[in-house]
Amino acid sequence: MSAESSLPINDLKERAAWLRRRVFEMVMQHREGHVPSSFSMAEILTLLYYGGVARLRRGAPDWPDRDRILVSKGHAAHALYPILADLDYFDSAELERFTQPGSFLGMYADNRVPGIEGISGSLGHGLGMGAGFALSARMEGRDFRTFVVLGDGECYEGSVWESAMFAAHHGLDNLVAIVDRNALCILGRTEDLVRLGSLADKWRSFGWAVEEVDGHDLAALRAAMDRIGSTDGLPLAIVANTVKGKGVSFMEGRAEWHNRMPSPEQEAQARQELGLAGASGHD
Amino acid sequence: MTETQTAAAPPPLMRDAFIDRLTEAAGQHDDILFISADFGAKALDRFRQDRAGQFLHAGISEQNMVDLAAGLALSGKRVFLYAMAPFLTLRCLEQIKATLAAMRLPVSLLGVGVGLGYDHATLTHFAIEDLACLRAMNGMEVLTAADAPSAVAMADLCLASPALRYVRLDRQGLTALAPPLEKAADLAPGLRQISDGGGIAVLTCGALCHAALEAAAQLGGEGQPPKVIDLYRIKPLSAPALLEALQGCRAIVTVEEQLLDGGFGSAVAETLLDAGAMLPMRRLGLRDGFVVENGHRDRLWRNFGIDAQAIAQAVREMAPASA
């Protein structure tokens, strides 16, 4: 486990703020990336990596007993890069080369990146892969767990539900799906586009244990994660209600910011709100 | 297809031959996993009984099956995916591309009923675009078995040299061809000459090898036997092996149970073109805009112009051009 693997809530809040700052800097450097989709899951990732949830070893991305974490909403998987660098999986200097020629840190994450367990980008693959990890752990008698972070828009993909049914049938209680329910797609609100309705009800009806929480409330997320291992043999789904763009006021809840880059004035405002020193620049 | 029906004992099904080889290996290697999307075989019944812990039913959920296989392969498992060919391939093409091919995972895809094998089921069950689609996948190897021994050789290859590989099996049992393919090493060239002749070469694979042999027998009676080549590995297609096999040939006819666009003949033409060794060539296969009539496979072959008579006629027509 990493040294900071079980920080108190207040320190975790600071960690989530740190993650937002690092992601924002990384994205703004070459103006490539998805900020709002990253920010809606900042607390989710913070809790997984620093909240004493995932068992990991600093500097050892290939440790066989590590918990597996897949960010299946691949457009935002780059939000993991600052964390993986912080865990000494690779040199943090690489973050400055995000999306640049020759760098292994692409807009979409693949398993050439130390700490990235499986490729993501197109949606609907992570849960199936995660079920594969969880099943292999079961077969080999290993006790690592698998966490898959899905987007709510991703839940439109039929393959998600194929895999959900499969995982429930096999009683994969070593598998956790966390749905980043930020309620937005590229073109608008999910409920206006094609209604997702109650995702909690859907996961429950597919045979999963379900927790629904405020996805920015670290204590609530931690309480939901505490159910791992006490679900009577069911896989666990955590529907985390979030705000897309959380942390930058003018991006919050606004679909059009999915992949838009801020003007210099907007960037300055965002940096201020995120607590980044200096109004702008590529420091 | 008459030759398959006249023998007293019908030839073994390729799927049974393949799976029996796997069952034998699975007993020694716990890392072998066999996953079916609700498709069976007599040999699979044995596998499920003997190696229950190494069998999974994915549900009639091919997309889940492929993503699941990716996770299992990343965990060090040797995974075999099994389904009817049309569903194993086109149903989950994106999964194959985005997980298996993108991460270059050594998963074996085992598709049964290629081409027009499910003759009565018609369009949904025809696998007539699978060659074009799967050979377009980065790093994908594509093999077609023409008899049970070659299916065993392909199973042997999957075990000996794990790679991302699509193995195409016929629905029907087909008589064994010579020279035999029996083990992984036999598959190295990617093709075999199954009938000697000259002037014109007929290239095909799978069940149509048997139609090509029938055509060759007819043409032999006319004193102009073509060389018949079972090009069982369409990707990677070995240009040196192909050029060597075509030595002495002045023209070629390709025959496939596929839409011609991007299929078998395309692969042959591309290889020859890239090698600067293009020959006069005629492709037999399903043409864009084709219409299906109900009927047995032999009737479908006749209607689509890929049966023995059509092959023989194409060779006759090519002969003057190459004389």
| Residue B202 belongs to domain with CATH number | 3.40.50.920
Count contacts between A and B (CB, < 8 Å): 94
Residue from A162, A165, A174 to probe the interface with B (highest B Cβ count within 10 Å): A162
Q: Which candidate, A43, A121, A141, A44, places its Cα nearest to that of A78? A: A121
Between chains, do B70 and A125 touch, taking CB under 8 Å as contact?
Answer: yes
Chain A residue with Cα closest to B53: A139
Helix (H, G, I), strand (E, B) or coil at B69: helix
Q: Where are the domains of chain A?
A: 9-274
Has residue A277 got a pLDDT over 90?
no
pLDDT band at A5 (very low <50, low <70, confident <90, very high): low
pLDDT of res. A283: 41
Between chains, do A129 and B74 touch, taking CB under 8 Å as contact?
Answer: yes
Q: Which candidate, A170, A182, A104, places its Cα nearest to that of A138? A: A170
| Distance between CA atoms of residues A117 and A71, nearest Å | 9
Q: How far, in Å, are A82, A96, A232, B108 from residue A277 at the CA level?
A: 18, 17, 48, 53
Chain B residues in contact with A127 (beta carbon < 8 A): 67
Between chains, do B64 and A159 touch, taking CB under 8 Å as contact?
Answer: yes
| Distance between CA atoms of residues B220 and B240, nearest Å | 28
Chain B residues in contact with A121 (beta carbon < 8 A): 98
Is residue B191 a contact partner of residue B231, using CB atoms and an 8 Å limit? Answer: yes
pLDDT of res. A7: 84
Token pair belonging to B223? 């004193």
Cβ burial of B123 (10 Å; 0-12, 13-18, 19+) is: exposed
Residue from B68, B87, B103 to probe the interface with A (highest A Cβ count within 10 Å): B68
| Distance between CA atoms of residues A71 and A259, nearest Å | 18
Between chains, do B102 and A131 touch, taking CB under 8 Å as contact?
Answer: no
Q: Which of A122, A133, A166 sits opposite B75 (nearest CB)?
A: A133
Is A110 within 8 Å of chain B by CB? yes
Has residue A281 got a pLDDT over 80?
no
Domain boundary among the residues B150, B181, B212 is at B181
Chain A residues in contact with B61 (beta carbon < 8 A): 159, 162-163, 165-166
Domain boundary among the residues B159, B181, B203 is at B181
Token pair belonging to B13? 């099904």
Task: Put the strands of the sheet holding B78-84 in their side by side order.
Answer: B55-57, B32-36, B78-84, B108-112, B165-169, B141-144, B233-235
Is the domain of B107 the same as that of B175? yes
| Distance between CA atoms of residues A152 and A134, nearest Å | 22
Is the domain of B33 the same as that of B161? yes
pLDDT band at A6 (very low <50, low <70, confident <90, very high): confident
Is A163 within 8 Å of chain B by CB? yes
| Residue B143 belongs to domain with CATH number | 3.40.50.970
User: How many C-beta neighbours within 10 Å does residue A94 have?
Assistant: 16
Domain that holds residue B282: 189-322
HSE of A159 in the Cβ direction (CA atoms, 13 Å)? 26
Is the domain of B177 the same as that of B240? no
Is the domain of B193 the same as that of B173? no
Q: Taking residues B50-74, what's their average pLDDT?
A: 97
Is residue B228 a contact partner of residue B193, using CB atoms and an 8 Å limit? Answer: yes
Is the domain of B154 the same as that of B220? no
Has residue A3 got a pLDDT over 50?
no
Between chains, do A128 and B64 touch, taking CB under 8 Å as contact?
Answer: yes
| Distance between CA atoms of residues B205 and A35, nearest Å | 51
Chain B residues interacting with chain A (CB cutoff of 8 angstroms): 53, 56, 58-59, 61, 63-64, 66-77, 94-95, 98-99, 102-103
Q: Kindly report, residue by residue over B154-166, the tens digit of the pLDDT.
A: 999 999 999 999 9
Between chains, do B77 and A136 touch, taking CB under 8 Å as contact?
Answer: yes
Q: Taking residues B220-247, what's their average pLDDT?
A: 97
Helix (H, G, I), strand (E, B) or coil at B259: strand
Has the ipTM of the complex gone over 0.85? Answer: yes
Between chains, do A128 and B74 touch, taking CB under 8 Å as contact?
Answer: no
Is residue B304 a contact partner of residue B290, using CB atoms and an 8 Å limit? Answer: yes
Between chains, do A136 and B98 touch, taking CB under 8 Å as contact?
Answer: no
Has residue A279 got a pLDDT over 90?
no
Between chains, do B67 and A132 touch, taking CB under 8 Å as contact?
Answer: yes
Has residue B321 got a pLDDT over 80?
no
Q: Kindly report, residue by residue over A162-199, the tens digit of the pLDDT.
A: 999 999 999 999 999 999 999 999 999 999 999 999 99
> Mean of the per-residue pLDDT values for chain A?
95
Smallest CA–CA distance, residue B208 to chain A, in Å, is 35
Is the domain of B83 the same as that of B166? yes
Is the domain of B166 the same as that of B208? no
Q: Taking residues A131-147, what's their average pLDDT?
A: 97
Is residue A32 a contact partner of residue A107, using CB atoms and an 8 Å limit? Answer: yes
Q: What angle do CA B28, B32, B37 make, to 5 degrees?
A: 140
Helix (H, G, I), strand (E, B) or coil at A207: coil
Q: Taking residues A100-110, what's their average pLDDT?
A: 94
**Domain count within chain B:** 2
Radius of gyration of chain B (CA): 19
Lookup result for tokens 């690779």: A90
% of chain B residues with pLDDT over 70: 97
Smallest CA–CA distance, residue B249 to chain A, in Å, is 46
pLDDT of res. A280: 47
Domain boundary among the residues B117, B146, B181 is at B181
Architecture of domain A9-274: 3-Layer(aba) Sandwich (3.40)
Has residue A4 got a pLDDT over 80?
no
pLDDT of res. A2: 45
Q: Kindly report, residue by residue over B109-156, the tens digit of the pLDDT.
A: 999 999 999 999 989 999 999 999 999 999 999 999 999 999 999 999
Is the domain of B160 the same as that of B197? no
Between chains, do A118 and B68 touch, taking CB under 8 Å as contact?
Answer: no
Residue from B63, B66, B92, B94 to probe the interface with A (highest A Cβ count within 10 Å): B63
Q: How far, in Å, are A89, A118, A220 from residue A224 at the CA level?
A: 28, 25, 6
Is A158 within 8 Å of chain B by CB? yes
> Mean of the per-residue pLDDT values for chain B?
95
Is residue B227 a contact partner of residue B204, using CB atoms and an 8 Å limit? Answer: no
Helix (H, G, I), strand (E, B) or coil at B59: coil
Between chains, do B63 and A133 touch, taking CB under 8 Å as contact?
Answer: no
Is the domain of B282 the same as that of B305? yes
Is residue A264 a contact partner of residue A237, using CB atoms and an 8 Å limit? Answer: no
Is residue B96 a contact partner of residue B129, using CB atoms and an 8 Å limit? Answer: no
Q: Which candidate, A80, A177, A54, places its Cα nearest to that of A127? A: A177
Is the domain of B107 the same as that of B219? no
Q: Taking residues B200-224, what's their average pLDDT?
A: 97
Helix axes A42-50, A218-225, angle to 10 degrees: 50
Lookup result for tokens 């990235």: A116
Is residue A203 a contact partner of residue A240, using CB atoms and an 8 Å limit? Answer: no
